Amino acid sequence: MIPFLHIGPLSIPTYGLMVALGMICAAYIFQADFDRRGVKADAFTMITIAGLAGIFGSKLYSALESPTEFLAHPVAQLFNRYGFTWFGGFLGGFFAMLILGRRAKIPLLEFLDACTPAASFGYAIGRMGCLLSGDGDYGTPTTLPWGMSFPNGVMPTTITCVQQGWPPSCRVHPTPIYEFFIWCAIGAFLWHMGTKALKGPKAKGEIFCAYLILTGVARFLVEIIRINPRVFLGLTNAQIVSVLSILAGAVLLWRIKSQYHTLKKEHRIVEHISSHGDVLQPEYHRPTPECQHPERWHMYDSMSAEVEVLDFLKALVTTVKPELVVETGTFSGLSTLRIAEGLKQNGVGRVITCEWDKKVYEAAKKRFAGSGLGKWIVARNESSLEMKIDGRIDMLFCDSDGPLREQEVRRFLPQINPYGLILIHDASSAMKSVREGALRLEAEGLISVLLLPTPRGLVLAQKREGRS
């Protein structure tokens, strides 16, 4: 092993070099996470300050593990080259990051979520410093082909093995390498969780909880083959801390998820859109007999119509030139805006849209106000079954709660232009209530139905001739 790099008169400790490299890599990953979340903050400054705090915390925690020696020689214990602990570094860096995140006015749980992938990769690289320096973080003897010896390390295996009653030439588990791969895998998984959280609503803090649980489990397992002393119930200090980390992560996750699921699904999606905007992604509706490859379509969220259906709505508006369009179920307003774009292109008409949920309605209304299409939109905060429409309806688009859509068609049917169009979303074979409602209307001779094989299903219908 190489505890120090000698460059002329300089002796550079490899442990410190790898810690510094880990901090640099963590800063780049942290900044990338900020950028993809749209957070304006300087990750490099934060990592530098937190890294220094972590080094101090690591030394202080290590020194306090031997209080007698620390009280006898406090300066020597704090400022020597050895005695760094993972948990002390975690605490020091963690509390420093909390202060920095607060100063940057970033919501706490979102900030912690952004920290975790960087922390995982930074720790993984820093652990390689333990390997290079041979500082005693290796494991028990092994006959596995990748077993290693550290005769020239800071804590040589030749001495440690004799102290433990093992052969002086024994090879040991290179646990820093194990931790490197495990923490890199955890970091990649947490980054993937962050990617999913950007695409759709997820509970803030969930990624941080996963970090506490996964790293706690990983460190506990690695400690089984480490040579650290057992201090309580056969556990090392690191294992005790790992158990606390797992418990804290599990309890916090339970609390976060419980609070999160008290929110209505519509509100969770609206809040996500408010934070991250509309995120284009492949449709993830499960395959149906009529649409076996939903991934070929695209979506913004799980409650708005597919992107291709939104484009279809606009194309229909520009093709049939309706003067009055009625939409039930505004939700995020994406479909309303596509219809309004078509009306603007035509130069005539208006769309009346309704949303009964006050919070969802306010979010959509705000979007309409900033769209430049407000002239073509009349938004109402009311139920579709109570909404009164004056005049003849040229196009009806039903996209409210599934059980209401058949009732909506029946209610507005007398006002619909005999040559107008009726569209009902979510009519796939997986949404039986909507699909069967449309077919029931057809069986009664009220409308003629065409079932379009989109991922979530779309009914295109027209009144039967002679009906009023």
pLDDT of residue 150: 79
Of 71-75, 127-131, 183-187, 268-272, the range with the highest mean pLDDT is 183-187
Mean per-residue pLDDT, 413-425: 95
Whether the Cβ atoms of residue 274 and residue 110 lie closer than 8 Å to each other: no
Rg (CA), the chain: 31
pLDDT of residue 444: 94
pLDDT of residue 76: 55
pLDDT of residue 68: 59
Secondary structure letter of residue 45 according to DSSP: H
Confidence of residue 65 (pLDDT cuts 50, 70, 90): low
Confidence of residue 263 (pLDDT cuts 50, 70, 90): confident
Of the two residues 227 and 449, the one the predictor is more confident about is: 449
Least confident of 90-94, 376-380, 444-448, 455-459: 90-94
Ramachandran region, residue 282 (left: φ > 0; alpha: ψ -120 to 50; beta: rest): beta
pLDDT of residue 232: 81
Confidence of residue 92 (pLDDT cuts 50, 70, 90): confident
What does the mean pLDDT of the chain come to? 88
Residue 69 pLDDT > 70, yes or no? Answer: no
pLDDT of residue 346: 97
Mean per-residue pLDDT, 248-269: 92
Q: Which amino acid is at 434?
A: V
Using one digit for the tens of pLDDT, what is the confidence trace for 107-137?
999 999 999 999 999 999 988 888 887 777 7
Using one digit for the tens of pLDDT, what is the confidence trace for 343-401?
999 999 999 999 999 999 999 999 999 999 999 999 999 999 999 999 999 999 999 99
Of 11-20, 67-76, 411-420, 457-466, the range with the highest mean pLDDT is 411-420
Residue 412 pLDDT > 60, yes or no? Answer: yes
Residue 366: Cβ within 10 Å count? 12
> With helix as H, strand as E and coil as C, how does 75-141 read?
HHHHCCCCCCCHHHHHHHHHHHHHHHHHHCCCCHHHHHHHHHHHHHHHHHHHHHHHHHHCCCCCECE
Confidence of residue 219 (pLDDT cuts 50, 70, 90): very high
Domain 298-463 is found in CATH 3.40.50.150 = yes
Percentage of residues in the chain having pLDDT higher than 70: 91
Q: Distance between CA atoms of 244 and 216, rounded to whole angstroms?
A: 8
Confidence of residue 32 (pLDDT cuts 50, 70, 90): very high
Confidence of residue 56 (pLDDT cuts 50, 70, 90): confident
Q: Distance between CA atoms of 315 and 340, rounded to whole angstroms?
A: 11
Of the two residues 140 and 300, the one the predictor is more confident about is: 300
Mean per-residue pLDDT, 425-445: 94
* C-alpha dist (Å) from residue 214 to 43, 54, 117, 190: 24, 21, 12, 10
Return the domain boundaries, the chain. Answer: 4-262, 298-463
pLDDT of residue 63: 63
Mean per-residue pLDDT, 48-75: 69
Q: Quick check: helix, strand or coil at residue 36?
A: helix
Residue 72 pLDDT > 60, yes or no? Answer: no
